[in-house]
Structure 1
Amino acid sequence: MTGLTAVSPELVFVAVLVFVWAGFVKGLVGFGLPTIGLGLMTVFVGVEKAMVLILWPAFLVNVWQAMSGGYLKPLLRRLWPFLAAAVAMLSAGTFILTQIPDGAADLLLGVLMVAYAVPMLVGVVLTIPARLEVPVGVALGLINGILSGLTGSYTVPGVMYLQSLGLKRDEFIQAMGLLFLLSTIALGASLGGFGMMGAHEALASLALVLPSLAGVLAGQKIRRRISETAFRRLILASILLLGLYLIPLGLWRLMH
């Protein structure tokens, strides 16, 4: 199955399952919907169509995540240089996507995720001094934008940067929502600009909002029962697992 113009019941069933699961992970740890949704749907519809499929679920879920929590104004004041840099470079990443072999970006992203998560899980702690917060944020924002345009995943190194700021759990969740929301808007504009957004895929993306939200609500219920320490370890374990998932996916796509 290489397209959505002739949608089969099997493809619809697979897409619903994928986005329920991706939404569940998103609700549990605050990220992962684009990475999981894109990675799994790429197998069935190809990377370009899969990138369009994630747009509406990611946009609406991230509007919710970005606007709830009560920290919107202080987070925007603190993070705007990082967020602006991430948005500014996303179209460059989408352009690079059109020039490189399928799978190369997934492989790179997976390696970066594993390289970050493993030392963190064994006790290494990364913190950024206040005087370096803006320059480091701008640099990592630029890298995050490129990788977002390349892969449709907004996680690396943006989530790592936000983790290093020592934000409380609710602040951290809302900050990720802001990054993901702005990146989703920029990704949609970039895909449209490069002629990669078809009407069929956009409608299918809208239909996948409901299973995504169902998964998010289920994940959030479990998250509320988890302690702050367990939550941070869950974040790192999720990054590691996503990385271990993306590495073989990238290798498989490179070979096909």
Structure 2
Amino acid sequence: MHTPTIGLIVLLFATFLGAGVVKGVTGMGLPTVATGLLGVVMSPLTAAAILIIPSFVTNVWQILVGPDKFRLMRRLWLMMLCIVISTVLGTRLLVVVDPVLSSRALGIALIAYAAYALFSPTVSIPKRLEPWFSPIVGVVSGVVTGATGVFVIPAVPYLQSIGLQKDELVQALGLSFTVSTIALAGGLLAHGAFRLDQLGVSVLSVIPALAGMWLGSIVRQRISPKTFRRCFLLILIVLGLELTLHLFS
């Protein structure tokens, strides 16, 4: 990544401010929105590297709010372990795959998640089946994260299906995203794809991300979360189509 220009700094600020607003309203979406928007103007590999610090900071904050973090860790440890292993291995795809293909893969992941969230029926997975589903979901989520930098498929639909209460679900999402972020950072470092200049930009991106979360918490009190979520998912589909059809140069 070259020395940031004024235009790039403005883009980063606007991207993470907007992504923070989405996370403040819905409890998720910062990495999805930020990676999708940045992926239009840079490779998913560079976007994933910039995402590391703001994603980590905002998700750790999300985990710490509430009393259920340790119980959730015990319940979801196998899924988290599989996410770590497969993300570190899958990150190799971000490094070696042609940016055109990885950009299209990112677009497809965004479309798949948004379409599922908009149109799928509610699914419930019995607790007795979690030991079987958790490692499978963890492995697939890690591969998708490693290949695209997006953490949501299929981790989010799975966590929504295992009967967690509202506050538990928010914490579980924060746990999953934090583990994915750490694993993604480890994978990028292991493959020599996380540079010092990217770290500086990543740190600076925390400021608009936190500001966006604060604004999102205000927005959440003024509009219907259901309406906001529907608009957010439709935007993801449009963004995914743009990435899928866009010839990265």
Q: How does the TM-score come out when normalised to structure 2?
A: 0.90
User: Do the aligned residues in 1 keep the contact of 2:102 with 2:147 (CA within 8 Å)?
Assistant: no
Q: Distance in 1 between matches of 2:70 and 2:2?
A: 40
In the alignment, residue 133 of structure 1 is paired with which amino acid? E
The answer for the alignment partner of 2:244 in structure 1 is: 250
Q: CA deviation at 1:250?
A: 2.3
User: Do the aligned residues in 2 keep the contact of 1:114 with 1:240 (CA within 8 Å)?
Assistant: yes
Q: CA deviation at 1:76?
A: 1.1
Structure 2 counterparts to residues 128-139 of structure 1, below 5 A: 128-139=125-136
After superposition, the Cα gap between the structure-2 partners of 1:205 and 1:234, relative to the gap in structure 1 and judged at 3 Å, is same
In the alignment, residue 34 of structure 1 is paired with which amino acid? P
Q: Distance in 1 between matches of 2:171 and 2:221?
A: 15
The answer for the alignment partner of 1:207 in structure 2 is: 204
Relative to structure 2, which stretch is displaced further, 128-137 or 141-150?
128-137
Residue from 130, 142, 148 that aligns with 1:145: 142
Relative to structure 2, which stretch is displaced further, 36-45 or 162-171?
36-45
After superposition, the Cα gap between the structure-2 partners of 1:213 and 1:158, relative to the gap in structure 1 and judged at 3 Å, is same
The answer for the alignment partner of 2:217 in structure 1 is: 220
Q: Identity of aligned pairs, percent?
A: 34
The answer as to 2:55 corresponding to 1:62 is: no
Q: Mind listing any 5+ residue stretches in structure 1 that lack a counterpart?
A: none
Residue from 120, 124, 134 that aligns with 1:127: 124
Structure 2 counterparts to residues 34-45 of structure 1, below 5 A: 34-45=31-42
Q: How many residues are matched?
A: 246
User: Do the aligned residues in 2 keep the contact of 1:26 with 1:32 (CA within 8 Å)?
Assistant: yes
The answer for the alignment partner of 1:20 in structure 2 is: 17
Q: Distance in 1 between matches of 2:231 and 2:163?
A: 18
Q: Distance in 1 between matches of 2:128 and 2:227?
A: 27
After superposition, the Cα gap between the structure-2 partners of 1:142 and 1:234, relative to the gap in structure 1 and judged at 3 Å, is farther
Q: Distance in 2 between matches of 1:130 and 1:42?
A: 37
Q: Distance in 2 between matches of 1:79 and 1:46?
A: 32
Relative to structure 2, which stretch is displaced further, 236-245 or 167-176?
236-245
Q: How does the TM-score come out when normalised to structure 1?
A: 0.88
Q: Mind listing any 5+ residue stretches in structure 2 that lack a counterpart?
A: none
1:4-27 deviations in Å (ceiling 9; x for gaps): 32x221211111111100111111
After superposition, the Cα gap between the structure-2 partners of 1:233 and 1:128, relative to the gap in structure 1 and judged at 3 Å, is farther
Q: Distance in 2 between matches of 1:233 and 1:159?
A: 19
CA RMSD of aligned residues (A): 2.1
User: Do the aligned residues in 1 keep the contact of 2:106 with 2:150 (CA within 8 Å)?
Assistant: no
